[in-house]
Amino acid sequence: MTIDWGAFLVVAVASIVSTAVVVSLYSFGLRFHGLTHPDSRTGRPVRPRYASVLAYACFTLSAAAVLFGIYLIVPFFHR
């Protein structure tokens, strides 16, 4: 029995890159979600609309990547 080191390397690199992408997307989502500034009239913290849109876009892409990974792993979905 021999190990196909090329395939092993491809899987290792793909898993490291995909993990970095998912974690980065989620981190950016948290950062955009926490982006606030005080309102000029009330002094309460307000999040700009673009920050909310970007936060939810990052969360959605992160969740989609996780669901796609589950789809690739679970053989039941490949029927």
Collapsing DSSP states into helix, strand and coil, what is residue 24? Answer: helix
| pLDDT tens by residue, 2-51 | 999 999 999 999 999 999 999 999 999 999 999 998 888 888 989 999 99
Kindly tell me the sign of the dihedral angle through the C-alpha atoms of 70, 75, 78, 79.
Answer: negative
Q: Which of 56, 68, 3, 63 is nearest to 31 (CA)?
A: 56
pTM over 0.85: no
Spatial separation of the C-alpha atoms in residues 27 and 11, rounded to whole Å? 24
Spatial separation of the C-alpha atoms in residues 27 and 20, rounded to whole Å? 10
CB 62 within 8 A of CB 29: yes
